[in-house]
């Protein structure tokens, strides 16, 4: 993506575009071609400056770091409390596999972050919808009470008018 060449890949392009953007911001021009996984940058440079892989690791590491508080927010939004949220965030923070994935320029940290974002949105929607139902229930109750009060007034109004007419008729006699 950084060389602006189309190629077909089985993975969705967003994470690769983000990697290319971070490489572009770090000054990488896309000149290093990795023929196979695990090839050393230093052994294949031929005296030239290699890709700024340390700077390119910043975005995956940032997404990994943002995943920890996002885990806390998900658990808290699901209603399990701050203790459970802290425990979930601590487990995420201490997971060696998670730490390893977010250290390198891999698609996995992007995938995990966006999955956590979508789970948070679903949990948030669930809780807002529940609060929305409570508010809707209160509004229905208020509307029902207002309608019942109005109906009661309308029923009393003809009786009051009859009484007023009878009093007026008595005065005239």
Long-range Cβ contact pairs of 2-7 (< 8 A, separation 24 or more): 2/28, 2/29, 2/30, 3/30
Of 10, 21, 116, the closest CA to residue 63 belongs to: 116
Identify the pLDDT of residue 41.
Answer: 60
Identify the pLDDT of residue 43.
Answer: 53
Identify the pLDDT of residue 42.
Answer: 59
Of 74, 94, 93, the closest CA to residue 84 belongs to: 74
Identify the pLDDT of residue 25.
Answer: 85
Positions in the chain whose pLDDT score sits under 50: none
Identify the pLDDT of residue 82.
Answer: 93
Identify the pLDDT of residue 140.
Answer: 72
């Amino acid at each position: 993506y950084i060389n602006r060449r189309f190629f077909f890949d089985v993975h969705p392009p967003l994470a690769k575009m983000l990697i290319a953007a971070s490489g572009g911001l770090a000054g990488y021009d896309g000149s290093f071609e990795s023929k196979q996984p695990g090839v050393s940058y230093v052994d294949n440079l031929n005296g030239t400056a290699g890709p700024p892989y340390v700077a390119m690791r910043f975005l995956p590491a940032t997404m990994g770091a943002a995943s920890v508080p996002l885990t806390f927010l998900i658990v808290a939004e699901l209603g399990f409390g701050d203790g459970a949220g802290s425990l979930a965030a601590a487990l995420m923070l201490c997971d060696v596999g998670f730490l390893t994935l977010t250290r390198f320029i891999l698609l996995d940290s992007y995938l995990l972050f966006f999955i956590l974002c979508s789970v948070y949105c679903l949990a948030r929607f669930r809780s807002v919808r529940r609060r929305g139902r409570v508010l809707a229930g209160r509004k229905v109750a208020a509307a029902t009470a207002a309608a019942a009060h109005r109906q009661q007034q309308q029923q009393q109004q003809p009786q009051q008018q009859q009484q007023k007419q009878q009093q007026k008729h008595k005065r005239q006699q």
